[in-house]
Amino acid sequence: MHQKKRNRNCAALAAAGILLNAAFVTVPANAEDTGYIFCDSFEDGASGWTGRGAAKTAVSQKEACAGSGSLYVSGRSAAWNGAVKPLSASEFKPGTAYSFSANVLYAGNSGTTLCLTLQYADAAGRTNYAGIAEVPAPDAGWVQIANTAYEIPAGASNLLLYAETKDGTSDFYLDDVIAAPEGTVIAGAKPKQFVRGDLSGDAQISAADLSLLKAGLANGFSDSSMKKAADINQDKQYSARDAELLTQFLAGEIAEFPAEKPEPASPVSFDRDSIEKSYRFPAVNTLPKSSEIPDPFIFTDGSQVGSAADWVSRASEISCQYEYYIDVPIKS
């Protein structure tokens, strides 16, 4: 049953592609024959995709561009960490062009670029990386990355297709990753205009959005796009304040949402005399040599940072020792 569902999704995408560009695509013989080399819709498994670098992958039903599932990519510690799939040497030939497409939902803020990349070994065995396609990450929603005519480099072997970002390490979702013959136009997600307060995604703000916001505050938000739209005052939190502002907007009391972003933390200034008095640090000029300047992570009572709790509970003491012995002497 899952296989049939996946094929129906791919057949629907193929049909949409035919309507977009009939000159390049021939009509499949039947609904199951899409003409695609592969169509990974993640309805019944990961389809050979795994994590790259520190990233982890898992099939998820939380988000989907089409159907009910997608591939969730998480745990990224670098931009190149993402999802990777080996390409069959019997199906992908060096010197031949193919059409590639993927739909991506980026969980972080916009400003990064989403990429489809090919890793391959050249004739000398050296590892190379080539960009297939890229697109700016939208403020919210799914977006398609596609190239209808990407040529596999001559002499390439050990082909790996992977999804990554140019920068940023936020999680992302993949759906309907497709490879097809050159020129195949594959239907995909189009970026939506982001409207703060538009939780329903219909490009307008109404009482329905307020209902969704209240439900989300009580029970959690169903997807990341809705969650972004719910941060009405841009304070990176979801609270009654957001509902209050949305109510005021709908009532005509305000014409736009105020940006109430959290103030950046003010730099902490230290008074050397008070530091010495509070922590009883020995004066620098009483130390026989500079190598005896205390380690800022070893305290005057002989204890030291030994756990995450110490970093929190003794943060001010760590800062004071650093300021007294290292930062101030260097500046003075």
Q: How far apart are CA 172 and CA 134, in angstroms?
A: 15
The residue out of 262, 282, 299 marking a domain boundary is 262
The CATH number of whichever domain residue 108 belongs to comes to 2.60.120.260
The answer to whether residues 48 and 141 belong to one domain is yes
Which segment, 90-104, 211-225, 307-321, is predicted with the most confidence on average?
Answer: 90-104
The predicted pLDDT at position 22 comes to 34
The answer to whether residues 129 and 212 belong to one domain is no
Mean pLDDT value of segment 115-122: 96
Task: Using DSSP bridges, classify how beta strands 172-181 and 70-74 pair: parallel, antiparallel or unpaired.
Answer: antiparallel
Number of domains present in the structure of the chain: 2
Q: Is residue 246 part of a domain?
A: yes
Which segment, 14-23, 48-57, 267-276, 319-328, is predicted with the most confidence on average?
Answer: 48-57
Write out the chain in H/E/C secondary structure: CHHHHHHHHHHHHHHHHHHHCCCCCCCCCCCCCCCCCEEECCCCCCCCCEEECCCEEEEECCCCCCCCCEEEEECCCCCCCEEEEECCCCCCCCCCEEEEEEEEEECCCCCCEEEEEEEEECCCCCEEEEEEEEEECCCCCCEEEEEEEEECCCCCEEEEEEEEECCCCCCEEEEEEEEEECCCCCCCCCCCCCCCCCCCCCCCCCHHHHHHHHHHHHHCCCCHHHHHHHCCCCCCCCCHHHHHHHHHHHCCCCCCCCCCCCCCCCCCCCCHHHHHHHHCCCCHHHCCCHHHCCCCCECCCCCECCCHHHHHHCHHHHHHHHHHHHHHHHHC
Q: Is residue 308 part of a domain?
A: no
Q: Is residue 226 part of a domain?
A: yes
The predicted pLDDT at position 154 comes to 96
For 226-281, write each residue's pLDDT tens digit: 888 899 998 888 899 999 999 999 999 999 999 888 777 665 554 555 544 455 55
Q: Is residue 250 part of a domain?
A: yes
Q: How far apart are CA 7 and CA 272, in angstroms?
A: 71
The CATH number of whichever domain residue 232 belongs to comes to 1.10.1330.10
Q: How far apart are CA 230 and CA 238, in angstroms?
A: 7
The answer to whether residues 197 and 175 belong to one domain is no
Residue type for position 326: I
Model pTM score: 0.59
Q: Is 222 exposed, middle or buried (0-12, 13-18, 19+ CB in 10 A)?
A: middle
Pseudo-torsion of CA 88, 92, 94, 97, nearest 10°? -160
Average pLDDT, the chain: 80
The residue out of 262, 280, 315 marking a domain boundary is 262
Q: How far apart are CA 312 and CA 305, in angstroms?
A: 10
Mean pLDDT value of segment 173-196: 90
The predicted pLDDT at position 193 comes to 74
The answer to whether residues 115 and 77 belong to one domain is yes
pLDDT higher than threshold 80 for residue 198: yes
Q: Is residue 116 part of a domain?
A: yes
- Give the distance from CA 131 to its chain's centroid: 19
The answer to whether residues 257 and 223 belong to one domain is yes
Q: Is residue 283 part of a domain?
A: no
The predicted pLDDT at position 23 comes to 33
Q: How far apart are CA 312 and CA 332, in angstroms?
A: 29
Question: For residue 216, what are the domain limits?
Answer: 193-262
The answer to whether residues 170 and 72 belong to one domain is yes
The answer to whether residues 42 and 112 belong to one domain is yes
The answer to whether residues 231 and 108 belong to one domain is no
The answer to whether residues 99 and 162 belong to one domain is yes
The answer to whether residues 140 and 166 belong to one domain is yes
The predicted pLDDT at position 226 comes to 86
Mean pLDDT value of segment 36-47: 94
The answer to whether residues 49 and 89 belong to one domain is yes
Taking every pair of Cα atoms in the chain, the longest distance, rounded to a whole number of angstroms, is 90
The residue out of 211, 237, 262 marking a domain boundary is 262
State both tokens at 42: 């993640």
For 127-181, write each residue's pLDDT tens digit: 999 999 999 998 778 999 999 999 999 999 999 999 999 999 999 999 999 999 9
The answer to whether residues 170 and 63 belong to one domain is yes
Mean pLDDT value of segment 113-133: 95
Q: Is residue 15 part of a domain?
A: no
Q: Is residue 6 part of a domain?
A: no
